[in-house]
């Protein structure tokens, strides 16, 4: 039977059984989803392309272990996220020094950091929310973005930022409160998500 006539579940089963054409088709169907995740996580197209290839390799290698406990697309999203987190952790272990500039033009203290929110597609976030986030201290704004925009789990955020999960939850809660203050009560559904989130 031609692959194009197979249902998604049948095609996936063929791929899990090692059918090369089925594997290629399954990976091709997931490419854009995986790339979108990697672009958000990595912050540049070239880095996203590298991690997309790595994620697709992991997906191909892990097909036989996929048990269908979640939707296949959701599983692929998780693999892509984990792949990027692994790379970002490696970057944290070999940080580069960035020189910041104070408002008076002098150099601030060097910091070792990776801007893990640089690749977010801010077109999905209202301009007033972006401005409010800019006004919130970076550790709180970053925690909110990682949780409410990138939708990472608390432990993933803790691993990525190098702090305890309790600190992560505290920063998210404080960040949402500061964001709400900045927005001065101007809320819609998206604002509700960013300022209330999980209602910790």
What is the per-residue pLDDT across 104-132, written as a single tens digit (0 to 9) for each?
444 433 333 444 444 444 444 566 776 77
Condensed to tens digits (0 to 9), the pLDDT of residues 4-30 reads 567 888 899 999 999 999 999 999 999
On whether both 133 and 59 belong to a single domain, the answer is no
- Report if residue 143 sits inside a domain: yes
Q: Residue 111: beta bridge partners? A: 98
Closest CA relative to residue 146, chosen from 81, 58, 54: 81
On whether both 80 and 149 belong to a single domain, the answer is no
Q: Residue 98: beta bridge partners? A: 111
On whether both 163 and 86 belong to a single domain, the answer is no
Given a contact cutoff of 8 angstroms between Cβ atoms, the answer to whether 22 and 3 are in contact is yes
- Report if residue 1 sits inside a domain: no
CA distances from 53 to 15, 31, 110, 143, 162 (A): 18, 9, 33, 27, 26
Condensed to tens digits (0 to 9), the pLDDT of residues 64-102 reads 889 888 788 888 988 888 888 788 778 766 544 433 343
Pairing of strands 111-112, 97-98: antiparallel
Quick one: pLDDT at residue 126?
60
- Report if residue 110 sits inside a domain: no
Boundary of a domain, candidates 75, 93, 111: 93
What is the value of pTM for the model shown? 0.54
- Report if residue 100 sits inside a domain: no
Range of the domain at 87: 7-93
d(CA 156, CA 159): 5
What number of residues does the chain have? 200
Domain count, the chain: 2
Closest CA relative to residue 50, chosen from 29, 34, 27: 34
Condensed to tens digits (0 to 9), the pLDDT of residues 164-195 reads 999 999 999 999 999 888 876 544 444 455 55
Which range among 35-39, 84-88, 158-162, 166-170 shows the weakest confidence by mean pLDDT?
158-162
- Report if residue 111 sits inside a domain: no
Q: Is the pLDDT of residue 152 over 60?
A: yes
- Report if residue 2 sits inside a domain: no
Q: How far is CA 170 from the centre of its chain?
A: 20
Quick one: pLDDT at residue 99?
39
CATH number, residue 161: 1.10.10.10
- Report if residue 108 sits inside a domain: no
Closest CA relative to residue 109, chosen from 120, 118, 100: 100
On whether both 143 and 83 belong to a single domain, the answer is no
């Amino acid at each position: 039977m031609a692959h194009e006539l197979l249902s998604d579940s049948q095609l996936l089963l063929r791929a899990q059984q090692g059918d090369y054409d089925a594997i290629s088709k399954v990976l091709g169907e997931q490419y854009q989803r995986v790339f979108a995740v990697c672009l958000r996580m990595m912050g540049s197209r070239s880095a996203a392309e590298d991690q997309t290839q790595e994620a697709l390799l992991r997906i191909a290698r892990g097909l036989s272990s996929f048990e269908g406990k979640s939707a296949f697309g959701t599983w692929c999203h998780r693999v892509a996220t984990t792949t990027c987190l692994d790379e970002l952790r490696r970057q944290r272990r070999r940080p580069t020094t960035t020189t910041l500039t104070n408002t008076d033009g002098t150099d601030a203290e060097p910091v070792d950091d990776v801007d893990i929110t640089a690749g977010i597609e801010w077109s999905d976030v209202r301009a007033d929310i972006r401005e409010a986030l800019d006004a919130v201290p970076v550790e709180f704004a970053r925690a909110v973005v990682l949780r409410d925009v990138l939708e990472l789990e608390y432990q993933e955020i803790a691993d990525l930022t190098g702090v305890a999960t309790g600190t992560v939850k505290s920063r998210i809660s404080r960040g949402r409160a500061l964001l709400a203050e900045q927005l001065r009560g101007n809320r819609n559904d998206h604002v509700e998500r960013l300022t209330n989130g999980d209602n910790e």
